[in-house]
């Protein structure tokens, strides 16, 4: 998993830095695990634009990912590592010994032909899914459940991981990718290892067209808008701006938007790092 820098034959290739896709072993996805995606273009059911700067983009099919890892005690062989247009990490196609096929988020270092498992009495090796009560302290994990049998919802994007710090009673203490330290029930599952494609944050598109392929339209800066459109708009010449804030007037740059009496605050030991 590395990056590829192209020769500057054209202006768009001069600064382009993309993945070399060396870990990809198959270009043909499993059709039984794919469903169509209907794009909204940022419009709601009435056709009114509710999200700006969305539209176009290449047609995609959604790959159904197994975030729950609930086939306990049934070994699976990694058949292929594939590209997924819907997420930054790579995905792995598993062939279970009972004949079922499933996609999972591929951990960094997972190899084709490797056997992985989930559930109780499973070795804490890369790709295996275990309960937090069975994972050794200090282990790097990803695809973490917040509630038992919910399916992993945390640490799922490229290169992300959390670390299991401690266990006390029915709670485990984890350091999350944001730097936050929080408690999670030990009956929740997590997968050993970090997410694949760790160099994703180093990629450089090189041209605006690549953003259009991904369905992102050009973004208008707030300071060039009119006052009716944004709190930072208006003014003569370049004298507009003011304090950074969102379209709804909520301040940016350090303003805390988390509800002070949120029920889950009691599980957070230390807040996220700025």
DSSP per-residue letters across 105-172: EPBTT--TT-EE-BSTT----TT-EEETTTSPTT-EEESB-SSTTS---BS-STT--EEEEEEETTEE
Please indicate, yes or no, whether residues 247 and 139 belong to a single structural domain of this protein: no
Please indicate, yes or no, whether residues 136 and 235 belong to a single structural domain of this protein: no
DSSP per-residue letters across 14-64: SS-EEE--TT---SS--GGGEEE----TTB-TTS-B-SSSB------EEE-
Last residue of a domain, one of 156, 186, 201: 201
pLDDT at 274: 66
- Domain span at residue 96? 3-201
Residue 50 lies in a domain: yes
Eight-class DSSP state of 92: E
How far separated are the first and last CA of the chain, in Å rounded? 29
Q: Are 247 and 222 in contact (CB under 8 A)?
A: yes
Cα–Cα distances (Å) from 142 to 8, 23, 126, 135, 190, in that order, read 37, 19, 10, 12, 6
Please indicate, yes or no, whether residues 194 and 258 belong to a single structural domain of this protein: no
Total structural domains within the chain: 2
pLDDT digits (tens, 9 = 90+) for 148-160: 999 999 999 999 9
Strands across the sheet containing 76-82: 101-105, 91-96, 76-82, 115-116
Q: Are 65 and 83 in contact (CB under 8 A)?
A: no
* CATH number for the domain that contains residue 194: 2.40.50.140
Last residue of a domain, one of 153, 169, 201: 201
For the chain, list residues with pLDDT below 70.
1, 274
Residue 130 lies in a domain: yes
pLDDT at 273: 78
pLDDT at 117: 97
């Amino acid at each position: 998993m590395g990056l590829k820098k192209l020769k500057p034959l054209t202006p768009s290739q001069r600064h382009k830095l993309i993945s070399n896709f060396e870990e990809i072993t198959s270009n043909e996805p499993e059709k039984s695990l794919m469903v169509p995606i209907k794009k909204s273009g940022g419009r709601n059911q009435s056709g009114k634009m509710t999200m700006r700067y969305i539209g176009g983009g290449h047609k995609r099919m959604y790959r159904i990912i197994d975030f729950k890892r609930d086939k306990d005690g049934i070994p699976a062989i990694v058949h292929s590592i594939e590209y997924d247009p819907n997420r930054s990490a790579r995905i792995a196609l598993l062939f279970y010994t009972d004949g079922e096929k499933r996609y999972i988020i591929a951990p960094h270092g997972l190899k084709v032909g490797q056997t992985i498992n989930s559930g109780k009495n499973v070795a804490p090796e890369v790709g295996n899914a275990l309960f937090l009560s069975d994972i050794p302290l200090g282990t790097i994990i990803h695809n973490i459940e917040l509630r038992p049998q919910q399916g992993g919802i945390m640490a799922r994007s490229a290169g992300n991981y959390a670390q299991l710090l401690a266990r006390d009673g029915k709670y485990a203490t984890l350091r999350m990718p944001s730097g936050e330290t929080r408690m999670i029930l030990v009956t929740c599952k997590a997968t050993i290892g970090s997410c694949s494609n760790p160099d994703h944050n180093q990629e450089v598109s090189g041209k605006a067209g690549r953003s259009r392929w991904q369905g992102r339209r050009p973004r208008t800066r707030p300071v060039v808008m009119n006052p009716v459109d944004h709190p930072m708009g208006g003014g003569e010449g370049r004298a507009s701006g003011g304090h950074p804030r969102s379209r709804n007037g909520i301040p940016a740059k350090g303003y805390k938007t988390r509800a002070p009496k949120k029920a889950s605050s009691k599980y957070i030991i230390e807040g996220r790092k700025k």
